[in-house]
A = this chain, B = another copy of it.
C-alpha cells in the first residue's frame, strides 16, 4: 500500500535521476485567472511527462533478480516512454506492447529510448494474453500505469516537491489540482500532501470522461460511457483505479471537469505566459484553475505532460490567441 513513507523512499531512489521540475507562475496569467496560479511543470520532466517518475520508482523497487529480467508495459503514450527510458537507464530490457495503429512518432520515440516495441492488432489480438505470454516466457515484470503502489509512490514525489516549493514561497493554503486518468498522479500527490492541512487535492478531467469526478461524488467507481472522443487522449481511462480510488475518496475534494476547448485555451495561455508546451491532457488542471468557479485564491496545478502533436498545438494557438 502506498504511504508517505513509500513516497519518501521513492524520492530517495529518484534523486539525481528524475528532474525536480520548477513551479512556475506569471503575473499576467494570474490576472486572467483572477487568482494566484502556480504550475508544476512536469512537461519538463524527462520524456516529457510525470510518467518517468512512476516508471523509475517501480523499476528501482524491484528485487535485483526480477529487475535484471526486464519489464513490460502496455501503452501507446507517456507511460511507454517513461518506462522505456527508466529501464534503459537501469540497463535492463523494456518490452512495450503498443497498438499497431499508434502514431509513428510515439513508436519511434519509445524505440529511441531503447525499448523493444511489439505491435498488436487491436481488432484481432488480445493484448492481455500477449502480455501474459511474454511475462511467462521471458520473466518480464509488468509495470502498470497507475494501479501499482510503487508507481503511485513515484508520482507522489511531485507532491513532496510541491510541499517544499510552496514552503519556500510561504504558501500554506491552496487547492492542488492534478490532471487525472486512472488516478496515479492525483492519489500520489494527495498522499504526499496529507500532512499539510491547508492543501486540498482536486482531480481534473475532460468533459464526458469524468469517471473520477462522478465516482468521488457517488462514492463508488463509475465508468465512462465512451473510450475515445476527447483531445485529452493521455488521460482517458474507463474507470478509477482499484488502488487509487480509495485514496482519493478519502483525501480528495470534488473533481473538476473542463471542456476540450478550455484545455486548448489553457495550452495557448501556457505558451504565451509560461513558455511551456502542454498536451491537451496535460493542460486540464491549468484549465480548471483558469476557468472553474469556486476555487480559493491560490491554486497549484500539475502540467502533467507536453507530448503533443504539432497540428493540435497549432489548433490551440489558432483558435485561442492569447
Contact = CB atoms under 8 A, between A and B. Distances in A.
A318 B310 CA distance: 8
A301 to B, nearest CB: 16
B275 A112 contact: no
Contact of A276 (B19, B46, B273, B276): B276
Nearest to A48: B275
Given A22-B19, A22-B21, A28-B109, A44 B314 contact: no
A100 interface: no
B275 A27 contact: no
A220 B175 CA distance: 57
A262 to B, nearest CB: 19
B113 A310 contact: no
A5 interface: no
Contacts of A310: 271-272, 317, 321-322
A280 B273 CA distance: 17
A85 interface: yes
A313 interface: yes
A26 B43 contact: no
Contact of A24 (B44, B109, B321): B44
A306 interface: yes
A31 interface: yes
A199 to B, nearest CB: 22
Contacts of A271: 277, 310, 313
Interface string A195-235: 00000000000000000000000000000000000000000
Contacts of A109: 28
Top 7 nearest A-B pairs (CB, nearest first) are: A275-B306, A275-B277, A43-B275, A310-B317, A48-B275, A22-B22, A28-B112
Interface of A: 19, 21-22, 24, 26-28, 31, 41, 43-44, 46, 48, 85, 109, 112-113, 271-278, 306-307, 310, 313-314, 317-318, 321-322
16 contacts: A19-B22, A21-B22, A26-B46, A27-B46, A27-B112, A28-B109, A28-B112, A31-B112, A43-B275, A44-B275, A271-B277, A271-B313, A272-B310, A275-B276, A275-B306, A310-B322
Given A22-B22, A314-B318, 7 more contacts: A21-B22, A22-B44, A28-B109, A48-B273, A271-B277, A314-B314, A314-B317
